[in-house]
Amino acid sequence: VQDAANAGHTLLAAGWISTLLSGAILLLLGRCRASDILRKLPLPVVGGFIAAMGIIGIRSSLSTLTGASFYIAWPTDVAPFREWKTWAHLGLAFYSLVSIRYLSGWIRPYIRSPQVQAMASPLCLLSPILVFYIVLGLRGSYAEI
């Protein structure tokens, strides 16, 4: 993006367009009965592919969070791990994982209203985003997005 003032709008538009195109492609594949082809693939091949994609996703996430380059699953440079920001980023990532997986189960027994209890899971899914923007606000770096 060449204009920093419009970077957020451009990223938002790109996200919406990619989401809509992905949905349209998936609907088209569903209409063409593409699942019949995928059912003929052996389960170990599909499992290996999914595991490899998970490893690549974790590695790229850690690289983005820490600023360190990784070879397979290990960092090639440990200098970023000496900074407190790296550990703060990893802490926020850990909070995101815990809140998405466990937070709604932990707080649901303490909520008496069925309407609020039904909203516990969606709110727990949104809590990492809220914490992210709170941290950005405390750092004063909304303009860098």
pLDDT at 59: 85
Whether residue 144 has pLDDT greater than 60 = no
Please tell me the distance from the alpha carbon of residue 38 to that of residue 26, in angstroms, as a whole number. Answer: 13
Q: What is the mean pLDDT of the chain?
A: 83
Residue count of the chain? 145
How far, in Å, are 3, 5, 11, 64, 83 from residue 17 at the CA level? 20, 20, 10, 23, 37
Residue pLDDT, tens place only, 107-142: 888 888 888 888 888 888 888 888 878 877 776 655
Cβ-in-10-Å burial (0-12, 13-18, 19+) of 37 comes to: exposed
pLDDT grade for 18, boundaries at 50, 70 and 90: very high
pTM of the model: 0.56
Structure tokens at 62: 């850690």
Residue pLDDT, tens place only, 59-109: 888 888 888 888 877 888 888 888 888 888 888 888 888 888 888 888 888
Whether residue 28 has pLDDT greater than 90 = yes
| Contacts for 46 with CB less than 8 Å, ≥ 6 apart | 38
Please tell me the distance from the alpha carbon of residue 90 to that of residue 65, in angstroms, as a whole number. Answer: 7
**How many percent of the chain have pLDDT more than 90?**
12
pLDDT at 145: 46
